[in-house]
Amino acid sequence: MEVAPIPGEEPWSAGAIGNAEWSGALLTEVLQAAGVYPEVRHVAFTGLDEIEMGDQSFGFGGSIPVEKAMSPEVLLAYEMNGEPLTPGHGFPLRVVAPGYIGARSVKWLANIRVQEEPSSNYYQTHAYKLFPPQVDEETADWSKGLMLGELSVNSVICQPADEEALPAGPVSVRGYAVTGGDRSVERVDVSIDGGESWMSADLLEEKGPWAWRLWEASVDLDPGEYELVARAWDSAANTQPELSEQIWNFKGYMENSWHRVRVRAR
């Protein structure tokens, strides 16, 4: 599906996602030790990096709601997969806020503030916002727009690859599915005819909450061309939209329309 291009952003397509095992201090214990006053609604983080923008220089920042910050899964992490963080992953200390967009897991953590409003950092108030389809970069009112937070439900076909030529016969279709907050992926549907008909994929071993859920479906392909499609459902029965054009926004965020892969069996 060709839709209007997204200006000035790198198309990450179905990539820029991974799973790791994180170790660190529980943010909730740090906050409880420091004390949180009753009016606090958000916990804001700022990094040590220095971003130049116009004549200003500041650290990357963002915030999460205090209820999330007080949940035991949010870490001040100093290890990734049992090793100290590498510089690229935020050494010496970073936030890990599972179920939220990656931008809230601030790296090279410099400070933590408890406050009544969301972070006033550019990356909270400006960058990661979802606008309606009738709004573009020129007309955006930056005081509005949905501040991205929890992830929407999404799924991706990893195998076979788009445009792949395969031997006819049985084919294993595999991929991942994710959702945000404390929701779980409850179902993945797979189609070999562009979404006309569906079968249920097998959900593979659960890696735990907030990790992706791998899935697999076995299909039998006669020689010909196929459009493979996947869509996931979360535990509240939300599912992915059929077409990109139904969710187009000028920043290109939260693109979770049905994932499609064209293959030829011969």
End-to-end CA distance of the chain: 25
Site string for its own copies, 51-70 (x = CB under 8 A): ----------------x---
Supply the minimum distance, in Å, between the C-beta of residue 198 and its own copies.
Answer: 5
In Å, what is the CA distance from 156 to each residue of 174, 192, 227? 8, 14, 14
Q: Which of 6, 127, 130, 140 binds its own copies (CB under 8 A)?
A: 130
Supply the minimum distance, in Å, between the C-beta of residue 94 and its own copies.
Answer: 22
Site string for its own copies, 17-56 (x = CB under 8 A): ----------------------------------------
How many Cα neighbours within 13 Å face the side chain of 204? 14
Q: Which of residues 176-205 bind its own copies (CB under 8 A)?
A: 179-183, 186-187, 189, 197-200
With contacts defined by CB under 8 A, name the span among 4-12, 21-29, 170-178, 227-235 that binds its own copies: 227-235
Site string for its own copies, 89-128 (x = CB under 8 A): ----------------------------------------
By beta-carbon proximity to its own copies, the closer residue of 148 and 214 is: 148
Residue-wise DSSP of the chain: ---PPPTT----TT-S-----EEEEEHHHHHHHH---TT--EEEEEES--EEETTEEE--EEEEEHHHHTSTT-EEEEEETTEEPPGGGTTT-EEE-TTB-GGGS-SSEEEEEEESS---SHIIIIISEE--TT--TTT--TT-SEEP-BPPPEEEEEESPTTEEE-SEEEEEEEEEE--TT--EEEEEEESBTTSS-EEPEE-----TTS-EEEEEEEEE-SEEEEEEEEEEETT--B--S-GGGT--TT-TT--S-EEEEEEE-
Q: Which pair of structure tokens corresponds to residue 111?
A: 């400070």
244 lies in the site for its own copies, by CB under 8 A: no
| 74, 98 Cβ separation under 8 angstroms | yes
Q: Which pair of structure tokens corresponds to residue 110?
A: 């410099």
237 lies in the site for its own copies, by CB under 8 A: yes
With contacts defined by CB under 8 A, name the span among 12-20, 21-29, 168-176, 245-253 that binds its own copies: 245-253
Q: Which of 172, 207, 236, 266 binds its own copies (CB under 8 A)?
A: 236
Q: Which of residues 141-160 bind its own copies (CB under 8 A)?
A: 146, 148-153
Q: Which of 28, 42, 75, 234 binds its own copies (CB under 8 A)?
A: 234
242 lies in the site for its own copies, by CB under 8 A: yes
Q: Which of 20, 162, 246, 266 binds its own copies (CB under 8 A)?
A: 246
Give the residues lining the site for its own copies (CB under 8 A).
67, 130, 132-134, 146, 148-153, 179-183, 186-187, 189, 197-200, 233-239, 241-243, 246-247, 253-254
